[in-house]
Amino acid sequence: MAVDGVDGAGKTTFADELAEVLRARGRTVIHASVDGFHAPRAVRYRRGRTSPEGFYRDSYDCPGLRAALLGPLGPGGSGRYRPAIFDHVTDAPVELPERVAEEGSILLLDGLFLHRPELRDLWDDSVFLHVDFEISVPRGAARGPGYGSPDPHAESNHRYVEGNRLYFREADPQRHAGVVVDNNDLQAPFVVRASARA
């Protein structure tokens, strides 16, 4: 199951809370983040450090994500997976040992761009957390130094805001998600739309 949304949407918190609910019902949950599948810095910035297109198209290693995590945990997969393959901070691969999923485990993967065409058909279900940039950007910046300006119109946020807008135009995640949740107010999220499968 994918938990998608812009930076500052509350994806990790939402996935953590969903994992708690599922575990309370006796399910085994594997919670991973697409952040463990970044592309190397040279790939991420090959279109320029401020390129919105580069942010959308080049941030993540989708083939690596499929090979290490989604394929092994998908239908007919071996169940032997790696929850991360790359550390974007050190710009180096990570050598985590393979793990073996218990039969019937549920994967919750949170991160950006999870409804892009090459991934969206891999999910049994998915959630898109809708949050306006006027809320998500300051929320993300509040994480601490190094997280950028709280102003969504700041030049330093151009790559991220416009990269997400490109994703919205090309992939239309709200249309493809099984459930769309308005998460502008973390204390009062609400379902905007749920498909029949949700």
Q: Tell me the chain's radius of gyration from C-alpha atoms.
A: 17
Is the alpha carbon torsion for 73, 57, 157, 123 positive or negative?
negative
Using a pLDDT cut of 90, give the percent of the chain over it.
93
Alpha carbon separation from 23 to 3, 26, 79, 189, 193 (Å, rounded): 17, 5, 19, 21, 25
Query: 105: pLDDT confidence band, cut at 50, 70 and 90?
Result: very high
Quote the tokens at residue 137. Answer: 């950007």
Contact 110, 168 (CB under 8 A): no
Measured distance CA(151)–CA(155) in Å, rounded? 9
- At 39-76, the pLDDT tens digits run 999 999 999 999 999 999 999 999 999 999 999 999 99
Q: What's the whole-number average pLDDT of the chain? A: 96
- The residue behind tokens 């998460």 is 183
Question: Per-residue pLDDT averaged across 14-27, rounded?
Answer: 98
Alpha carbon separation from 7 to 15, 28, 113, 143, 176 (Å, rounded): 14, 27, 10, 11, 19
Give the domains, in start order, of the chain with CATH numbers. Answer: 2-194 (3.40.50.300)
Q: Is the pLDDT of residue 175 over 70?
A: yes
Q: Is the pLDDT of residue 128 over 70?
A: yes
Measured distance CA(133)–CA(124) in Å, rounded? 28
Burial class (CB in 10 A: 0-12, 13-18, 19+), 182: middle
Query: 197: pLDDT confidence band, cut at 50, 70 and 90?
Result: low
Closest residue by Cα to residue 100 from 125, 138, 72:
72
* pLDDT score, position 148: 84
Measured distance CA(97)–CA(187) in Å, rounded? 38
Query: 196: pLDDT confidence band, cut at 50, 70 and 90?
Result: low
Query: 141: pLDDT confidence band, cut at 50, 70 and 90?
Result: confident
